[in-house]
Amino acid sequence: MDSPHLPDSLALTLAAWRVAPSRQPQFRSAVHARLGGASLPWTLYARRHLAVVGGTLALGLVAGAFSGRESARSRVAAESAQLAAAYVQGLDARSMTAR
């Protein structure tokens, strides 16, 4: 059921394929120039990317306000439950002592 062994045309094509890139004498200096320009002070970066920085700050402010609000609500609910339990315990006749 096996077919007779035929040479794989893709393997032969890939084996014969050679890449010869052209030489660029200024490649290293161009890379160094691009990397040297990448280190900007953060104030200049913020000015150039004002929308991204502003959006990030606004998102952080909204997230902080929301999480602070939820934290305060849970604290108030816990304190309210604690006060209610103390009040009910104070009214419980079983826990009252005769004076």
Domain boundaries, the chain: 40-91
List, for residues 66-97, the tens digit of each pLDDT value: 999 999 999 999 999 999 998 988 887 777 66
Token pair recorded at residue 18 = 């050679």
Cα separations in angstroms, 73 against 5, 10, 67, 83: 76, 68, 10, 15
Question: What pLDDT is attached to residue 1?
Answer: 46
The residues, ordered by sequence, that sit 6+ positions from 81 with a Cβ below 8 Å of its Cβ are none
List, for residues 33-53, the tens digit of each pLDDT value: 888 766 778 888 888 889 999
Q: How confident is the model at residue 16 (pLDDT cuts 50, 70, 90)?
A: confident
Question: What pLDDT is attached to residue 96?
Answer: 66
Token pair recorded at residue 13 = 């094509």
Please report the beta strands in the chain, taking only residues with DSSP state E, as ranges in sequence order.
none
